[in-house]
Amino acid sequence: MVKTFLNLSKAQERALSLIAINMHPFAHPKTIKVLLDKGLIVKHERTIYGKGNSPIDRIPMGTNDYEVPLPVHYEWCKWCSENKGGIGHVKVHKLA
């Protein structure tokens, strides 16, 4: 599976790295689609509600969350350790 990471663009690497560390990828939908199609991430759709007292605060909004499946995350961590601590523009620092 490590070879899968070799064929990613810089934008895809960055998005995958951010998702792997539980951050929002801030990536173009086409970038996300490639990662989904390759099985590197999974999408979870959910509905969120505001918490204010105004009626507009209680309007439901749809959102997507992404995560890296555990086997892919394991390979991603291995890939990062072999590539000087990171892929894309996100660096993974080793704990002392």
Query: What's the pLDDT score for residue 56?
Result: 79
Answer whether residue 56 is part of any domain: yes
CA–CA distance, 2 with 17 (Å, rounded to integer): 14
Query: How many Cα atoms occupy the beta-carbon half-sphere of 92 within 13 Å?
Result: 21
Number of structural domains the chain divides into: 1
Answer whether residue 77 is part of any domain: yes
Let me know: does 17 contact 86? Beta carbons within 8 Å: yes
pLDDT per position as a tens digit, 19-61: 999 998 989 999 999 999 999 999 999 888 878 788 877 888 8
Answer whether residue 21 is part of any domain: yes
Query: Higher confidence at residue 82 or residue 19?
Result: 19
**Model-level pTM greater than 0.85?**
no
Answer whether residue 48 is part of any domain: yes
Answer whether residue 29 is part of any domain: yes
When pLDDT is averaged across residues 61-69 and rounded to a whole number, the result is 91
| Confidence band for 87, pLDDT divided at 50, 70 and 90 | low
As a whole number of Å, the CA-based R_g of the chain is 16
Query: Higher confidence at residue 2 or residue 36?
Result: 36
Let me know: does 87 contact 21? Beta carbons within 8 Å: no
Domain that holds residue 58: 2-91
Answer whether residue 96 is part of any domain: no
